[in-house]
């Protein structure tokens, strides 16, 4: 079948979005098409030509969504400055936003040009592909379309459009926008989101309190999963936090190599606000802002809002329980508790700065890596302690990836395309990341961390 749109967001108040038109492109070219995702959406790939995927042939009038957000702690009114939702595709009872990213200016573009570079769209494609196969809830990339425009960022590159798929693009910042700019619409909008994402709450007596709790728990699950694989989102502004717990907006993101809770690679994060180890407290801070945006729903009962705030007070307990459960699985520990050995292991990681991904493989199968850190007495001691209560191989294999999209590998693949218009390295890395939990001797080079010098100098950028 072809795309089948039923765009319910247009039934909401028109202050929440703008009708838009993608910019004209003379010769759009499909660089990548995610055939597995086509199948999952019930789409016939033969029906998805470059004219449809670049927004040149429209099935209905696209929209750009308005939203707000705290960006590095500062509140700003925003909106889709270079993104347009073509429509909501419905398949097998599920609803998906089909969005174009890099398709031209919108009323929310400000001084931006509405475009995107081909390297940034290829980057998002491979990160979202990896996250999906790592078992993490994420936006998906249906296609990358190269345009005939040149886009100037840090260097001049071909332009590109990413076709992004999500359950919706509603975020904490959408609620902040509605609460501050269209407050009379807040109840109707919240009911719409509940009906779309959490319909089981519709008949609850305290559905708005329960809604907050569900969003909080789905967000905790997301961030704990990030920490399981060493992912650093890099720009956890409230406008980048999905109401459905989907990871999205792969801008200055990275995967951590050497364990460092202060690890941050974004060029704009000078103070480490969104460092690897700070993702938990930032999530709680963001949830506090989300709670504030819902406060008007409780005007008739301050006690009811107190109950919502009590849900937020449970954040630490819920997060820590999920985090320690995740770490026990990574260490192959079947029993509950055992926080002390997990903490001791984390202390060793902090001290040794060992490669995060490879350490769990080495614990599971000693001798996997020729790295002096794994010959130290301290590592042998911690492994001996773990062997008495954990290191269950079956459990560890399900939880610990063999491969991640390491930063230097990403850069190699992108540079090859920019310099030679060759996607062979990119596709080789995609092939490895298709099954990141399966070891293959032929892929051992993809397990090698970069030099510490590379890591210390590596920088990612938002304005891609």
Q: What mean pLDDT comes out for the span 175-190? A: 98
Q: State how far the Cα of 87 lies from the Cα of 367, in Å rounded to an integer.
A: 52
Output DSSP code: residue 353. Answer: -
Give 366-424 pLDDT, tens digit per residue: 999 999 999 999 999 999 999 999 999 999 999 999 999 999 999 999 999 999 999 99
Of the chain, the percentage scoring pLDDT greater than 70 comes to: 99
Give the angle subtended at the CA of 294 by the CAs of 288 and 298, to the nearest 5°: 120
DSSP-assigned letters across all residues of 163-232:
EEEES---BHHHHHHHHHH-GGGHHHHHHHHHHHH-GGGTT-TTHHHHHHHHHHHHHHHHHHHHHHHTEE
Four-CA torsion 325, 167, 265, 108, nearest 10 degrees: -150
Q: What is the pLDDT of residue 462?
A: 78
Catalytically active residues, by annotation:
239
- pTM exceeds 0.85, yes or no: yes
Q: What is the pLDDT of residue 138?
A: 98
Tokens of 458: 């590596």
Nearest CA to 284 out of 241, 233, 234 is that of 241
Q: What is the pLDDT of residue 443?
A: 72
Q: What is the pLDDT of residue 233?
A: 98
Q: What is the pLDDT of residue 441?
A: 77
């Amino acid at each position: 079948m072809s795309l089948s749109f039923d765009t319910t967001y247009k039934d909401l108040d028109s202050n929440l979005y703008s009708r838009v038109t993608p910019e004209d492109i003379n010769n759009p070219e499909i660089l990548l098409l995610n055939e597995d995702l086509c199948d999952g959406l019930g789409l016939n790939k033969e029906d998805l030509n470059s004219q449809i995927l670049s927004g040149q042939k429209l099935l209905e009038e696209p929209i750009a969504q308005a939203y707000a957000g705290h960006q590095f702690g500062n509140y700003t009114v925003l909106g889709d400055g270079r993104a347009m939702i073509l429509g909501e595709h419905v398949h097998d009872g599920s609803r998906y936003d089909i969005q174009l990213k890099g398709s031209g200016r919108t009323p929310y573009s400000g001084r931006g040009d509405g475009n995107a570079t081909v390297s940034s769209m290829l980057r998002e494609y491979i990160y979202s592909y990896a996250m999906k196969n790592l078992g993490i809830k994420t936006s998906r990339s249906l296609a990358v379309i190269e345009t005939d425009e040149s886009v100037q960022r840090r260097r001049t590159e071909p332009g590109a459009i990413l076709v992004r798929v999500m359950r919706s693009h509603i975020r904490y910042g959408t609620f902040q926008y509605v609460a501050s700019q269209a407050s009379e619409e807040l109840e109707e909008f919240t009911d719409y989101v509940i009906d779309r994402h959490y319909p089981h709450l519709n008949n609850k007596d305290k559905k708005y309190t329960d809604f907050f709790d569900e969003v909080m728990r789905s967000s905790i699950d997301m961030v704990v999963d990030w920490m399981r694989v060493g992912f650093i989102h890099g720009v956890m502004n409230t406008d980048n936090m999905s109401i459905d717990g989907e990871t999205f907006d792969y801008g200055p993101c990275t995967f951590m190599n050497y364990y460092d809770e202060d690890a941050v690679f974004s060029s704009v994060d000078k103070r480490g606000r969104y460092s690897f180890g700070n993702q938990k407290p930032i999530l709680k801070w963001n949830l506090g802002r989300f709670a504030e945006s819902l406060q008007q729903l409780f005007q008739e009962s301050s006690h009811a809002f107190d109950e919502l705030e009590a849900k937020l007070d449970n954040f630490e307990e819920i997060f820590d329980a999920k985090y320690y459960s995740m770490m026990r699985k990574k260490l192959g520990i079947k029993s509950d508790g055992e926080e002390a050995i997990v903490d001791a292991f984390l202390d060793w990681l902090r001290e040794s700065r060992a490669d995060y991904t490879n350490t769990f493989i080495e614990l599971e199968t000693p001798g996997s890596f020729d790295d002096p850190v794994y010959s130290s007495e301290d590592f042998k001691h911690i492994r001996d302690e773990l062997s008495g209560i954990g290191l269950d191989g079956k459990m560890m294999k399900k939880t610990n990836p063999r491969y991640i999209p390491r930063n230097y590998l990403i850069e190699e693949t992108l540079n090859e395309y920019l310099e030679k218009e060759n996607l062979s390295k990119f596709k080789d890395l995609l092939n490895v990341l298709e099954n990141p939990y399966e070891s293959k001797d032929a892929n051992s080079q993809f397990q090698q961390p970069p030099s510490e010098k590379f890591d210390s100098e590596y920088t990612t950028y938002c304005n891609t």
